[in-house]
Amino acid sequence: MKHHPKDYFLSVNAGLAVVLRVFLLTLFGLLCHVNFASAQSVSQADVISSASGNVIEIVEGDYIYFQGIEPPDRGWEAASHPNIDHTNKTGQHRGEYRSMVGRFYFDRAAVGDGLLGIHTIGTRGNFTVSVNGVEIFRNFADVTDKKNSWYRPFLVPVPDSALKTDVNEVIVHSFSRKSVGIGRLLIGPNSSLQNIYQSRYFWHITAPTAASLAMLVIGLLFLVFWIAQRHEIELLWLSIASILWFARNHQYFSGEIPINTGTYVAITFLSSYFATVAATAFYFYFIQLRHRKLIVSTMLFFGCLITLIHFGIIRPPSNPYMSASSFYLYAGTLIVVITVSTVALRDLFRNRELQRRLIGLGVVMCMPLVTIHDVTMLFRHLGDGHATYLGVFGGPTFAMVFTIAFGIRVLKAFTDLGKSNQVLETSMSKVRAELLESEANRQELVVSQTLTSERARLMQEMHDGIGSNLITALAVAQQQKHPRTSIDVLRRALGDLKLTVDSLEPVEGDLVALLGNLRHRMARDMADAGVSCKWEVEECQSLPWLDAANALHVLRIHNEAIGNVLSHSNADEMRIGCVEHELDGVRGILTYVKDNGDGFALDDVTNGKGLLNMKARAHSLHGALFFESEPGMGTSISLWLPYVREEIRKIDPQL
């Protein structure tokens, strides 16, 4: 790999490893001093007891490093095992084939009986395994294959025919265009190794593959969701984080490098930073952190710098311990992780929402774990087969936690939506009811306006049609000296039409003007009948309810009353007037038509049709009609009308 084996980190991690190994060595050395004794001819190895026989783990061997693939015979150097040669350790450049051959000896008697196997994890690149000079395994079909086997366990069965009964030689030849090396090596009964191998295979390959693929699917799904819901930017971040994490994890479980090695390395290397940033961005957008846009932009900008450094476009001052790109990537990742963990920790205490706590916990637990793993493991690239990395599950766990949290939020939103729909529906129905009411009012208004204009139209019709015909008929009747009765009928018809026309005049409830007009119209008739008229009006308020229909009732009552005086009373004087008058405590106007004529005995006229009509009209006006007459004392008809009508008074008692 391009990034330098980070001696600084190595010293820390390897230091730990060395302490551990020394401890183990001492332990096993004490237990198996026999093996130590025969160490002259066999490689140093730890012995791991097993039910089906001892399994030994190689801890020392002889090695040759060289350029190219074909190994030279000489130059073996003893070293501890596992032995990994990272890219550039020996000044090599990626792109040229390099090899490492390791040679190990074991005593057939030191391992258990039965079919033997060799189990290796972390042996780099393409490799072959030979026993006693016979090649028994190779992990590649063609030399040019780009095998990626640093994390992959292999179990190689050793045919009995290849084995000697005493000391056996095992040669592992690893070659690659990047790191080479021979990882953890276990030799023992095949059945014992099977268990180890299967467990390793599951945790190193099967589980990471499944988890990463699941994460990839989630990421792609969220991408689709985001395309449908562009404003939900969290979806995009979640998607990017998942996809990048898959890219980063690919090197764990993939047996082969599917693309150009340099590109592959760049992707796996850089994606670890960008995946962290994308996950952080998701989290910050999810909790609506202030200045999130600025923070995420800064992180992404830093990522771009790292990318440029990685491709050598920018060359910052280098560091004696590691390559610049690695230094900045790890430093950047560390800053991001510290930031996000701090925010998450703070949010954990501040926010008690379930999904927020869940995600906060996820961030607080996962982020440092994954990053510490990332930083240490990617740095060390020890990959000697001892370690099973939890980090590979960090991304999928993260994605899962985020998905669940997001799901909870979406579910909650749905619930809220349902509730707000309910609220909306309630207010909608309220508004609808109001609308209906106002529409009904409007309709009523329209109807009343239509009625008014229709009435006016009808009047115009009467005016032009009936009216002019009546007038012509009257003129003709008069000209041709028709009997007076027929002329009177025509006059009465015309008079009634006039009343109707007058009732339509807008007088704004001015009863005096209305009656005055009637008197004005009848002035000629009065003069003809020889009745003088005294007009006795007092100042009265207007009647708010006096519309055309009511005005017509008022006019007809008075027309009838005046007509009676003129036709039947033999009076020579009549008084028409109006005055404010309270009836049963209700304020109103009293109008009257009084004459000094013959008068009647009440019984004679009580049931008269004219009077009944007048009473009916007074009733429909919500008023009262009073009739007073005595023979020889004249007649008085009065009409009392309230200022405010009963039903209106009930609505507003203030009036």
Partner 1 sequence: MIRVAVVEDDPVMSDILCNAIDACEDMSLTARRDNMHDGSRMIETGGYDVLLCDLGLPDGSGIDLIRQEAATGRDTDILVVTMFANQKNILDAVRAGARGYLLKDERIEDCIEAIRNIRRGGSPISPIIARQLLKQITPEQANDGVPLATPLTEREYEVLNLLARGLSNSDCAEVLSISSNTVGTHIKNIYRKLEVNSRAEALFEASSKGLLS
Nearest CB to partner 1, comparing residues 454 and 464? 464
Nearest CB to partner 1, comparing residues 260 and 478? 478
Q: Within 13 Å and on the Cβ side, how many CA atoms surround 155?
A: 17
Nearest CB to partner 1, comparing residues 161 and 480? 480
**Minimum Å distance from CB 569 to partner 1?**
20
Nearest CB to partner 1, comparing residues 157 and 577? 577
Nearest CB to partner 1, comparing residues 539 and 647? 539
In this chain, which of 505, 580, 604, 630 binds partner 1, going by CB under 8 A?
Answer: 505
Q: Does 455 bind partner 1 (CB under 8 A)?
A: no
Q: Please report where in the chains the tokens 């916990």 appear, as a residue.
A: 361
Instruction: Find the DSSP H helices in 229-353.
Output: 233-253, 261-286, 292-310, 324-350
Nearest CB to partner 1, comparing residues 430 and 457? 457
CB proximity list for 539: less than 8 A, separation 6 or greater: none
Nearest CB to partner 1, comparing residues 375 and 515? 515
**Minimum Å distance from CB 618 to partner 1?**
21
CB neighbourhood size of 135 (10 A): 12
Nearest CB to partner 1, comparing residues 443 and 478? 478
Q: Which stretch binds partner 1 (CB under 8 A): 38-46, 201-209, 287-295, 529-537?
A: 529-537
How far apart CA 307 and CA 304 sit, in angstroms, is: 5
Nearest CB to partner 1, comparing residues 160 and 572? 572
CB 401 within 8 A of CB 358: yes
183: left (phi over 0), alpha (psi -120 to 50) or beta: beta
Q: Within 13 Å and on the Cβ side, how many CA atoms surround 416?
A: 6
Q: Could you give phi then psi for residue 468, rounded to 5 degrees? A: -70, -35
CB 118 within 8 A of CB 156: yes
Burial class of residue 455 (count of CB atoms within 10 Å of its CB; 0-12, 13-18, 19+): middle
Q: Does 498 bind partner 1 (CB under 8 A)?
A: yes
Burial class of residue 287 (count of CB atoms within 10 Å of its CB; 0-12, 13-18, 19+): buried
x-marked contacts with partner 1 along 507-526 as a string, rule CB under 8 A: x--x-xxxxxx-xxx-xx--
Q: What is the DSSP string of 207-232?
A: HHHHHHHHHHHHHHHHHHHHHH-TT-
Pairing mode, strands 60-67 and 98-107: antiparallel
Token pair belonging to 76: 């073996």
How far apart CA 652 and CA 638 sit, in angstroms, is: 28
CB 391 within 8 A of CB 367: no
Residue 624, helix vs strand vs coil: strand
Q: Which stretch binds partner 1 (CB under 8 A): 60-68, 114-122, 348-356, 501-509?
A: 501-509
Pairing mode, strands 126-131 and 116-121: unpaired
In this chain, which of 32, 115, 501, 583 binds partner 1, going by CB under 8 A?
Answer: 501
Nearest CB to partner 1, comparing residues 370 and 529? 529
Token pair belonging to 454: 């229709």
Q: Does 497 bind partner 1 (CB under 8 A)?
A: yes
**Minimum Å distance from CB 494 to partner 1?**
5
How far apart CA 511 and CA 579 sit, in angstroms, is: 11
Q: Looking only at residues 474 through 493 of this chain, which bind partner 1 when binding is defined by CB under 8 A?
A: 474-476, 479, 491
In this chain, which of 416, 434, 454, 464 binds partner 1, going by CB under 8 A?
Answer: 464
Nearest CB to partner 1, comparing residues 29 and 516? 516
Cα radius of gyration (the chain): 56
160 secondary structure, DSSP code: G
Residue 483: cis peptide before it, omega within 30 degrees of 0 = no
In this chain, which of 362, 467, 563, 588 binds partner 1, going by CB under 8 A?
Answer: 467
Q: Which residues of 342-357 are buried (b: 16+ CB within 10 A; e: fewer)?
A: ebbeebbeeeeeebbb
How far apart CA 523 and CA 639 sit, in angstroms, is: 21
Token pair belonging to 630: 């005595």
Q: Which stretch binds partner 1 (CB under 8 A): 123-131, 249-257, 429-437, 494-502?
A: 494-502
Residue 520, helix vs strand vs coil: helix
CB neighbourhood size of 136 (10 A): 17
Nearest CB to partner 1, comparing residues 348 and 513? 513
Nearest CB to partner 1, comparing residues 368 and 516? 516
Q: Which residues of 393-426 are buried (b: 16+ CB within 10 A; e: fewer)?
A: bbbbbbbbbbbebbebbeeeeeeeeeeeeeeeee
Token pair belonging to 340: 């996000």
In this chain, which of 49, 468, 541, 567 binds partner 1, going by CB under 8 A?
Answer: 468
CB 279 within 8 A of CB 239: no
Q: Which stretch binds partner 1 (CB under 8 A): 45-53, 324-332, 465-473, 612-620?
A: 465-473
CB proximity list for 315: less than 8 A, separation 6 or greater: 309, 324
Q: Which stretch binds partner 1 (CB under 8 A): 121-129, 383-391, 417-425, 500-508?
A: 500-508
**Minimum Å distance from CB 505 to partner 1?**
5
CB 371 within 8 A of CB 333: yes
Q: Does 591 bind partner 1 (CB under 8 A)?
A: no
**Minimum Å distance from CB 615 to partner 1?**
25
**Minimum Å distance from CB 565 to partner 1?**
17
Size of the site for partner 1 (CB under 8 A): 35
x-marked contacts with partner 1 along 43-82 as a string, rule CB under 8 A: ----------------------------------------
**Minimum Å distance from CB 621 to partner 1?**
20
In this chain, which of 143, 471, 549, 601 binds partner 1, going by CB under 8 A?
Answer: 471
Pairing mode, strands 573-583 and 532-537: parallel
Nearest CB to partner 1, comparing residues 232 and 525? 525
Q: Does 458 bind partner 1 (CB under 8 A)?
A: no
Q: Looking only at residues 405 through 434 of this chain, which bind partner 1 when binding is defined by CB under 8 A?
A: none
**Minimum Å distance from CB 556 to partner 1?**
16
**Minimum Å distance from CB 653 to partner 1?**
31
Q: Which stretch binds partner 1 (CB under 8 A): 77-85, 282-290, 506-514, 624-632?
A: 506-514
x-marked contacts with partner 1 along 243-282 as a string, rule CB under 8 A: ----------------------------------------
Q: Does 494 bind partner 1 (CB under 8 A)?
A: yes
**Minimum Å distance from CB 439 to partner 1?**
32
Interacting residues toward partner 1 by CB under 8 A: 463-464, 467-468, 470-472, 474-476, 479, 491, 494, 497-498, 501-502, 504-505, 507, 510, 512-517, 519-521, 523-524, 533, 535, 537
